[in-house]
Amino acid sequence: MRSGWAEVRYRWLLPLARGGRARGRAYARIVARVERASDPERVRVASARIARALSLDPVRAERVYRGCLYSEALEEADSVYFMHRPALDPALFQFDELPEALDGARPANVGTNVGTDVGTIFGTLHFGAPVLCYLALCARLGGGLSIVGRPLDDANPMPESKRTYARAKVRWAEQVAGRPFIATDSAAMAQARDELLAGRSLFTPIDVPGSVARRAATVPVFGEPVRFACGLMTLARLTGATVVPVVAASSPDGIRVRFGQRLDPGGGADDLLGRALGELLRFVRTNPDEWWMWPYLEPAR
Partner 1 sequence: MTTLERVKRVVGEVMRVPDGALEVTARIEDLGESDSLTLAEIATSLDMEFGIRVPSEDMIDARSVGDLAALVERLLRTADSSRTS
Residues near partner 1 (CB under 8 A) are 184-194, 197, 214-215, 231, 234-235, 238-239
**Residue at 298: amino acid letter:** E
Residue 297 Cβ vs partner 1, minimum distance, rounded to whole Å:
22
> What are residue 205's DSSP bridge partners?
124
3-class DSSP state of 148:
strand
Kindly tell me which of 3 and 116 has the beta carbon lying closer to partner 1.
116
**CA quadruple 221, 223, 224, 229: dihedral sign:** positive
Kindly tell me which of 131 and 197 has the beta carbon lying closer to partner 1.
197
Cα dist. 244→43, 53, 111, 122 in Å? 31, 24, 15, 5
Residue 225 Cβ vs partner 1, minimum distance, rounded to whole Å:
22
Kindly tell me which of 176 and 197 has the beta carbon lying closer to partner 1.
197
Determine the Cα–Cα distance for residues 131 and 197; give it in Å rounded to an integer.
Answer: 24
Residue 191 Cβ vs partner 1, minimum distance, rounded to whole Å:
5
Determine the Cα–Cα distance for residues 39 and 226; give it in Å rounded to an integer.
Answer: 23
CB contact at 8 A, 50 and 290: no
Q: How many CA atoms lie within 13 A of 186 on its CB side?
A: 0
Residue 187 Cβ vs partner 1, minimum distance, rounded to whole Å:
5
Kindly tell me which of 231 and 245 has the beta carbon lying closer to partner 1.
231
Kindly tell me which of 1 and 187 has the beta carbon lying closer to partner 1.
187
**DSSP string of 183-209, one letter each residue:** -SSHHHHHHHHHHHHTT-EEEEES--B
Kindly tell me which of 184 and 201 has the beta carbon lying closer to partner 1.
184
